[in-house]
Amino acid sequence: MMSRGEIADALQGLLRCSVERDRPLSGLSTLGVGGWAECYAEPTELEDFLVLRRFSHREGLPFHVVGGGSNVVFADGPIPGIVVSTRRWNAVRWLPREDRVVADVQAGHALASLVAASAKRGLTGLEFALGIPGTVGGAVVGNAGAGGRGVGDSLEEVLSAEPDGTLRRWRTGEFSCSYRRCSLSEPGRLLLSCKIVLGLAPRGEIEENMERFRSARRIQPHGGRSAGCSFKNPDGESAGRLLDRCGCKGMAVGDAVVSDSHANFILNRGRATGGDVLSLLRACRRRVFERTGVLLEPEVRFLGWLYAWDGEPAANMGNEMDEGNETARRV
């Protein structure tokens, strides 16, 4: 097994971007919790992503991808292996096609920027994503959405780095998306870019659509540090409403607290740790199960843990852009 110094040195010789050792991660998540990556890189070139993926595959190292950090709970302490951020891989090209426009977007592009730029260009299809934080890559992996719509609805093509470091293009029909799920979200796969098909519409109509989605988010907490909705909605029900009815608002572990305005949001009110957030998620889930019999499934993803959920491997819990989430640490 290579030491982290040897890993960083070996990688540095292969990459154009720099490799950082012991990179603190909390600043890369909207929740603001977590430890540090033993080996961290922010590639700006395709080849660097492929080299990183290939290297970790060959050396048997855990491989994690971080997008916008808006749906992830990092583990506390050192996170072994390689953490790759897509945030500097963020170009977008607008390709006209008959009565449509295709946005060819790299994974690290902020979803909010894409929504704003689309509206400005008179393009419709992404209004529902207004107010959703994070990157386009993360949005695809988790099929981010609102009001019954998701990024997957307009997705035409996805380019990925496969676990062995080869490049693969997925076309319509070769993948599928459903509520908060994309079939391409597999351990070890890194989504690099995608094509999103947008229609043309009058500005007024786009604005109206956006206003509708804006008002749907009014009860969500604004401004605090959170990772968005903690749990997926079970069939036909709102997780937030269930958590609220079970009296979860205000529950806290350390500095992690359930929001008073929307019970499906956990806020970091100061110095919360990843462990605090995880314990609070478990306590909420247990309470809802005991009182209603509904077992909520987390929507947030867990990066760097050995066992995150009552001994279940964290990979069963879904994950942000962190493909190598197979190992999680029990807290």
Question: Alpha carbon of 93 to those of 102, 196, 260: distances in Å?
Answer: 8, 11, 41
Name which of 68 and 163 has its Cβ closer to ligand EPU: 68
For the bound state, the minimum distance from the C-beta of residue 215 to ligand EPU, rounded and expressed in Å, comes to 10
CB atoms closer than 10 angstroms to residue 190: 26
Residue type (1 letter), 271: R
53, 87, 180, 285: which is the annotated catalytic residue?
A: 180
For the bound state, the minimum distance from the C-beta of residue 2 to ligand EPU, rounded and expressed in Å, comes to 37
Nearest CA to 201 out of 190, 193, 210, 192 is that of: 210
Name which of 71 and 193 has its Cβ closer to ligand EPU: 71
C-alpha 291/C-alpha 241 separation (Å) is 13
Q: Is 229 a catalytic residue?
A: yes
Q: Is 82 left (phi over 0), alpha (psi -120 to 50) or beta?
A: beta
C-alpha 196/C-alpha 31 separation (Å) is 28
Name which of 8 and 28 has its Cβ closer to ligand EPU: 28
177, 194, 229, 246: which is the annotated catalytic residue?
A: 229
Name which of 41 and 110 has its Cβ closer to ligand EPU: 110
Which residue(s) pair with 193 in the sheet?
106, 159
38, 42, 127, 299: which is the annotated catalytic residue?
A: 299
**Do the bridges between strand 72-74 and strand 92-97 make them parallel or antiparallel, or are there none, so unpaired?**
unpaired
For the bound state, the minimum distance from the C-beta of residue 207 to ligand EPU, rounded and expressed in Å, comes to 18
Query: CA angle 201-204-209, nearest 5°?
Result: 80
C-alpha 116/C-alpha 133 separation (Å) is 12
For the bound state, the minimum distance from the C-beta of residue 204 to ligand EPU, rounded and expressed in Å, comes to 22
Name which of 112 and 216 has its Cβ closer to ligand EPU: 216
Q: Residues interacting with ligand EPU, by CB under 6 A?
A: 146-147, 216-217, 219, 228-229, 232-233, 238-241, 244, 262-264, 299
For the bound state, the minimum distance from the C-beta of residue 248 to ligand EPU, rounded and expressed in Å, comes to 8
- 285 token code pair: 């889930």
Q: Is 180 a catalytic residue?
A: yes
Catalytic residues: 180, 229, 299
